[in-house]
Structure formats: C-alpha cells, structure tokens
C-alpha cells in the first residue's frame, strides 16, 4: 500500500552492490534479495565494528586518486566498496508512492572488505575477558582473590543496569552455576588466574550452600536458591522448591540440569574429584526420579522414554505435581538441555577413560552418559520435528502427545530452541562420527554402521531446521534472530509474531553456533553467510560497550530495550549464553572457518589440574568435532614444554598423561597449556 508521511528508523544488513556518485548513494542487497539505495550526506557517519574494549579499529585506507575536497563523495568512495558486507541504520520515508532511505550510521565489519573482525584471532577472548572482569568488579569491587565467604556475602542473582545489587537478595543456584561456567570458560580461553580463583570459590559455595544429599549419599538434588533476611535481621533461608513463575512449588528438571553446567566445566579444567562425585550423584537423581524408561510402567508411569519436566517436592513424583500444566509433562528443556548443559563437557572429560587406578570407576558413568546422549538425541530426531510446520514441537504429555495449550506457549515456537536443536544435533553427529571411526579402527564395521546412521539422522534434522529458520526465523533484511512466533502462521505471512518482532541475546547465540558448526559439517556457503550475518548483528547491536556487558533484548532494528527486567545486568534469565557464545564461537571459527589476513587457525586452552595422584591423564578435546579437525601442536606443563615426552597415540586421542609433568612443589597442581592447530575442511 502507498503511505503518506511515513517515517521510520530502518536497519539494513547486506552487501554493497552499487555506487552512484551523482545522488550520492550506494546500494545494499540484503539476504532477502531486496536492494536498498542508501542516500548519504554530511550527517552520514561511518565506523568500523568495535569490541567491548572500545578500541577504534578503523584502518580503512583512503581511496586512490580521490581528493578530500568533498567529504561526502570522499567518504562514500572510501567506505562503500562494492562487495563489502556492512550494516546501515537510517531513516526510511514513504509519501504518495515516493520512497527514500537516508543513511545515518554505516557500520563496517572490518577495514578490509574481505574480512570480518569477529573472525580475528583475539576477538572472542577479548570479549569474554571484558565481560568476566566487569561481572567480578560488580560483585566484588577491587578484590583479586576470592573465598566461599565472598560469594556468600556478595553474590546476588539480580543486578541492575549499573551492576549494583537490587532489593531482591535471592541467590539462585542454577544462575550461580552458570556464572561458574562463565568463569571456568574464561579461564580456559585466557589462563587468567583471577577467573580460576573466582571459579573455585563459586564451586565451593555452590556445593556447600545449595547441595542436598539423600540419606544414603546416592542422590544429589539442588535447592532453587537462598534469600537473605530483610529489615536488618541476620541470616538467610533456603528455598528448595522453585520460585520461577512457570515452575513455582516444583522441582523442575532444567534447574537441576543447569546446576551441573558450571560444575562440569569446572571439572574439565581441574579434575576435582569431589565435584565429579556431585555430578555423578545428580545424574543418579535424573535417572531414578525424572527418567521414564519402559520399566517405569511398573510404577504407573508412561514408560515412553525421555524425562519428565517437573517433580512434586513432597512426593518426588511427576504425576502429583501442581499446577496441572506441569504434571506428567515432557519438554525441550527436560530432554534436550542435557546435551549442551553438561553431557558434552562431561563426555569430553571422561572419554577416553582416564588412565590410572580410577579408570574402572569412570566406566559406569561413561556408559550412563552414552545412554543419555543416544536416547535424548534419538528422541529429538523422532518426536520433536513437526511435518506440518517449519518448527519443532516443544511440549508433550507423558506419552509424547503434543501439548499445545501450555500457558504462554500455546501453539507457538521459540526460534532459538529450533536453532539450539540444530546446533546440538550437529555436535551429536560429530560425536557419532568419532565413535564410528573408533569402532572401524577396532575391526567392528557393523557396529560402526549404526553410529554412521545416527550421525546422518542427526545431521539431516539439524540441516532441515537450520534451513527453515534461515527463511522464517532470521531477519533477512536486518540480520539477527527473532524470538517467539506462531507455529502455524495465519494472515498470509511466512512469519507471525506472538508478541513483537524483538530479538533476545540468547537466541542470537544459538543461531551463530548452529550456522558455524553446520558450515564445518557441510561446506555449504549459505551456513557461513548466515553465521556471519548473525555474528554481525550480535557484535554491532547487543554489546553494551559503556558497561562491558550485553543487552538482553533489542528491537528488530537493533536498538536496545531497557525497560523493566530487560535493563538488568544479571537476573534469572541473563547470563551464561554470552560466555558460551564467546567460548564456542572462538573454537568453531578457528576449527571450521579458514583464517587469513594475519589470523591463523590455532588456539590455546588452559587447565589447572588440582592433583595428579589419583588420575594420571586429562582429556583436552575442545568440543565434539569431526575426527582429525584439530590436532595438538604443543603442551606446556608448569611452563615446561613436554610435547616431545608424550606418546603421539595419546595426543591423537586428545589425552595427555600426567607422568611427564612435575607438579608445583607447594600446591601440587599442574598448569597445562595446550596449543591446538585446526585444519578446516574448506575456506
């Protein structure tokens, strides 16, 4: 329809396909295929993408043979180079059939039109250090060493936009565990001792303040949180059942799962046996209370596989939960979140089985992890895809009948969940490829064929979801990933929004990681394009450069929303995903995208083994990856290069024995720095 006096801020992401000096303007083609003429003038501002460190990275060379007498034409020729990817924010106007788009901000993604700053060697480590430093500064001010008492006194789940404590004094267990993940990942990427000290204190406090063991020590459950008494009264009280609005009064499985996220990442870098024991006991709880195997029919349950989403804290059963919307239900979080929250990192830690006297103690745990991974990935492939929709089904009754009437969700899809499935099924595909290779190497080709089939099925579902999200879940004009949409849109549009066309930070993470890892698996350039498009939107519009953090939600145009809970710097919903993104985007970029222009495909991971007496090896594979994609180039133990002392067969399995390492004489610990070189399958 033709509008009159219509004016709107509009963001365009795409590639420069033409320049018109007479107007003057340049034309941008978006991924949708639409072309926008961006008119420039004296108020047009050009900049190059900056990171959280605030450094000006504009090194665009001047155009050859062009004078600077006319700054408008000079800047147009300097910055609007044909083929350059960029983003433009400006004013779109329409009046009686005439339209005009005036560029106000032009964002370049690198000074070199053929490169991207977020693919440079230090981009993601820089981002994670800025975020980690600021959150520790918020909580503990100038402290540089940390104790369990520091977390008891100062840690708060909720922080306002300035990073200050609010009147809400709650400390949520799952959120603290996610902070522990953040700190452990920051240490793995950088080796900065500050993060490890904070992580150790956080792990100790998490275990002492929120852990609830059964009378026989077999099971571990995690309390929802602790709240300090108000009005000057000393002390605090434990909140065992969840206080979350969707889960109030229950034990939701996803909170128990995410209590393991930080502990598992912390175990990866320390091999702390007490932490592993709590992980093992928590998994026992998953299997004996939430799991619904065929044998569960004897207890009156469906016996249909998968995991129930909630338990009644009084009966410890899923079929007496109140309110009824959570009774005997299964959902994406109760089935799929096992994989990214703890399973991947736990399997990486204990497979191959560690060397030493503890080897046989790890075998039952590894076998259990195999079973959970195979069952959950199979269920996701079998039950979640909907042949009548572009999106997965996310909520089910006990017998896997879809539940399309749940509170806010109804028959709606969360785009980020579809992309999270695509990302994690691709990880599973890599893992099953590795298992198939090991079986073939062991002379068991028939067993290997079964894992090849699992891998193919996971990759098939992942690609279908990623392809469809690229059409109906990603913004093909501006970049970025939408939030909640109707699964069966009406009104003739391919996408129908449940509320607004907003974009949330955690869903950007899922998209970036899904498309990066799928590019590594397929060599399909469309996935790399969507990964870069999504990474550009994140790095341009979600980074809060004034406060070294990130915004929870933006508008469709990338403007931050700072109302109510969305202005918080930490809360029940804010945290973790930005660090997980920085950690894995760093690994995936180095492993799957061929570097150039001064960057390379190497990276380091840091470990700090607390003792080598019980366990005589550590596994260091960064993530589930295709066999042979990365190799260990060097190993330094307490500053000594021990690479030549290690058996190449161990290095090929990403397992480093500790017999060549000399522990610190005071602490008994070993600081391990492992350098990896990647060989991307394509460029």
Please return the burial class of 548, using the count of CB atoms within 10 Å of its CB with bins 0-12, 13-18 and 19+: buried
Give mean pLDDT, residues 52-59. 96
Give mean pLDDT, residues 474-481. 98
Instruction: Give dist(CA 131, CA 181) in Å, integer.
Output: 13
Instruction: Give dist(CA 565, CA 571) in Å, integer.
Output: 8
CATH 1.50.10.10, the chain: domain bounds: 411-593
Please tell me whether the peptide bond between 24 and the residue prior to it is cis, using omega within 30 degrees of 0. Answer: yes
Q: For residue 273, is pLDDT > 90?
A: yes
DSSP bridge partners of 85: 15
Instruction: Give dist(CA 108, CA 111) in Å, integer.
Output: 7
Closest CA to 330 of 394, 281, 391: 394
Q: What is the CA radius of gyration of the chain?
A: 26
Give mean pLDDT, residues 438-449. 95
How many CA atoms are closer than 13 Å to the CA of 284, on its beta-carbon side?
A: 15
Is the overall model pTM greater than 0.85, yes or no? yes
Burial 219-252 (b: 16+ CB within 10 A, else e): bbbbbbbbbbeeeeeeebeebebbebebbebbbb
Closest CA to 303 of 314, 293, 312: 293
The pLDDT value given to residue 402: 98
The pLDDT value given to residue 310: 98
The pLDDT value given to residue 233: 67
Give mean pLDDT, residues 475-504. 97
Give mean pLDDT, residues 14-43. 98
Q: For residue 117, is pLDDT > 60?
A: yes
Instruction: Give dist(CA 345, CA 367) in Å, integer.
Output: 15
Q: For residue 358, is pLDDT > 90?
A: no
Q: For residue 616, is pLDDT > 80?
A: yes
Closest CA to 574 of 271, 99, 41, 158: 158
Q: Where are the alpha helices (DSSP H) in 83-147?
A: 123-140
Residue 55 binned pLDDT confidence (cut-offs 50, 70, 90): very high
CB contact set of 284 (below 8 Å; sequence gap of 6+): 218, 219, 220
Closest CA to 523 of 465, 477, 463: 463
Detail the DSSP E strand segments found in 98-214: 98-108, 171-172, 211-213
Q: For residue 664, is pLDDT > 90?
A: no
Would you tell me how many other CB atoms lie within 10 Å of the CB of residue 595?
Answer: 18
Flag the least confident range among 1-10, 124-133, 179-188: 1-10
Closest CA to 589 of 127, 32, 82, 264: 127
How confident is the model over 643-662, as pLDDT tens digits?
999 999 999 999 999 888 88
Flag the least confident range among 41-50, 349-358, 526-535: 349-358
The pLDDT value given to residue 232: 59
Burial 640-676 (b: 16+ CB within 10 A, else e): eebbeebeeeebebbbbbbeebebeeeeebbbbbbeb
The pLDDT value given to residue 33: 98
In CATH terms, the fold of domain 6-114 is OB fold (Dihydrolipoamide Acetyltransferase, E2P) (2.40.50)
Give mean pLDDT, residues 190-203. 98
Instruction: Give dist(CA 106, CA 90) in Å, integer.
Output: 9
Q: For residue 229, is pLDDT > 80?
A: no
CATH 2.40.50.140, the chain: domain bounds: 6-114
Contact 260, 282 (CB under 8 A): yes
* CATH, domain 411-593, list 1.50.10.10, 1.10.287.70, 3.40.50.150, 3.40.120.10: 1.50.10.10
The pLDDT value given to residue 231: 59
Contact 158, 170 (CB under 8 A): yes
Torsion sign, CA atoms 118, 119, 122, 125? positive
The pLDDT value given to residue 396: 98
Give mean pLDDT, residues 283-299. 97
Give mean pLDDT, residues 442-465. 97
Helix and strand counts by DSSP (H, E) for the chain? 17, 27
Instruction: Give dist(CA 81, CA 179) in Å, integer.
Output: 42
Would you tell me how many other CB atoms lie within 10 Å of the CB of residue 115?
Answer: 17
């Amino acid at each position: 329809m033709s509008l009159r006096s219509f004016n709107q801020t509009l963001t365009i992401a795409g590639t420069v396909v033409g320049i018109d000096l007479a107007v003057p303007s340049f034309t941008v083609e978006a991924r949708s295929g639409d072309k926008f003429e961006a008119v420039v003038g004296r108020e047009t501002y050009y900049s190059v993408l900056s990171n959280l460190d605030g450094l000006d990275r504009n090194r665009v060379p001047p155009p050859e043979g062009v004078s600077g007498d006319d700054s408008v034409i000079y800047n147009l020729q300097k910055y609007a180079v044909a083929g350059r990817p960029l983003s433009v924010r400006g004013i779109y106007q329409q009046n009686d059939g005439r339209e005009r788009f005036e560029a106000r901000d032009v964002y370049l993604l690198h000074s070199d039109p053929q490169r991207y700053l977020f693919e440079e060697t230090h981009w993601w480590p820089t981002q994670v250090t800025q975020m980690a430093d600021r959150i520790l500064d918020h909580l503990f001010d100038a402290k540089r060493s940390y104790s369990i008492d520091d977390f008891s006194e100062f840690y708060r789940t909720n922080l306002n936009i300035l990073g200050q404590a609010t009147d809400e004094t709650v400390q949520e267990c799952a959120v603290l565990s996610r902070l522990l993940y953040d700190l452990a990942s920051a240490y793995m990427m950088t080796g900065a001792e500050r993060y490890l000290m904070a992580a150790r204190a956080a792990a100790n406090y998490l275990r002492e303040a929120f852990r609830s063991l059964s009378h026989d020590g077999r099971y571990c459950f995690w309390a929802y949180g602790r709240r300090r008494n108000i009005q000057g009264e000393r002390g605090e009280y434990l909140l065992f059942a969840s206080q979350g609005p969707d889960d109030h009064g229950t034990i939701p499985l996803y909170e128990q799962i995410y209590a393991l996220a930080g502990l598992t990442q912390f175990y990866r870098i320390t091999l702390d046996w007490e932490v592993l024991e709590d992980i093992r006991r928590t998994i026992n709880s998953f299997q004996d209370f939430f799991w619904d195997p065929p044998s569960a029919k004897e207890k009156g349950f469906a016996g249909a596989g998968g995991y129930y989403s909630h338990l009644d804290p009084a009966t410890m059963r899923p079929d007496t939960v109140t309110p009824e919307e959570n009774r005997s239900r299964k959902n994406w979080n109760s089935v799929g979140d096992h994989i990214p929250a703890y399973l991947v990192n736990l399997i990486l830690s204990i497979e191959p089985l560690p060397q030493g006297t503890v080897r046989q103690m790890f075998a039952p745990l590894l076998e259990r992890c195999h079973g959970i991974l195979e069952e959950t990935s199979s269920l996701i492939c079998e039950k979640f895809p909907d042949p009548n929709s572009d999106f997965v089904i996310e909520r089910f009754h006990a017998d896997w009948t879809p539940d399309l009437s749940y509170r806010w969700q109804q028959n709606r899809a969360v785009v980020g969940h579809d992309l999270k499935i695509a990302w994690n099924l691709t990880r599973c595909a890599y893992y099953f490829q590795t298992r198939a290779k090991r079986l073939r190497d062991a002379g068991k080709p028939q067993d290997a064929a079964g894992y090849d089939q699992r891998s193919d099925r996971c990759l098939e579902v992942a690609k279908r979801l990623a392809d469809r999200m690229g059409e109906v879940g990603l913004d093909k004009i501006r970049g970025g990933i939408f939030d909640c949409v109707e699964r069966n849109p009406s009104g003739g549009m391919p996408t129908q929004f449940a509320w607004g066309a907003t974009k949330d930070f955690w869903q950007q993470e899922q998209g970036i990681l899904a498309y990066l890892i799928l590019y590594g698996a397929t060599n399909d350039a469309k996935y790399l394009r969507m990964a870069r498009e999504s990474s550009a939107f994140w790095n341009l519009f979600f980074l809060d450069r004034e406060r070294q953090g990130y915004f929870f939600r933006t508008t469709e145009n990338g403007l931050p929303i700072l109302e109510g809970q969305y202005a918080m710097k930490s809360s029940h919903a804010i945290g973790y995903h930005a660090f997980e993104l920085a950690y894995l985007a760093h690994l995936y970029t180095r492993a799957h995208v061929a570097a150039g222009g001064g960057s390379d495909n190497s990276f380091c991971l840091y470990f700090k083994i607390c003792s080598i007496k019980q366990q005589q090896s550590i596994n260091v594979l960064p993530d589930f990856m295709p066999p042979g994609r990365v190799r260990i180039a060097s190993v330094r133990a307490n500053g000594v290069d021990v690479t030549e002392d290690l058996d190449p067969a161990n290095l090929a399995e990403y397992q480093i024995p500790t017999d060549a390492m000399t522990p610190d004489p005071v602490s008994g610990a070993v600081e391990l720095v492992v350098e990896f070189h990647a060989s991307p399958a394509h460029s």
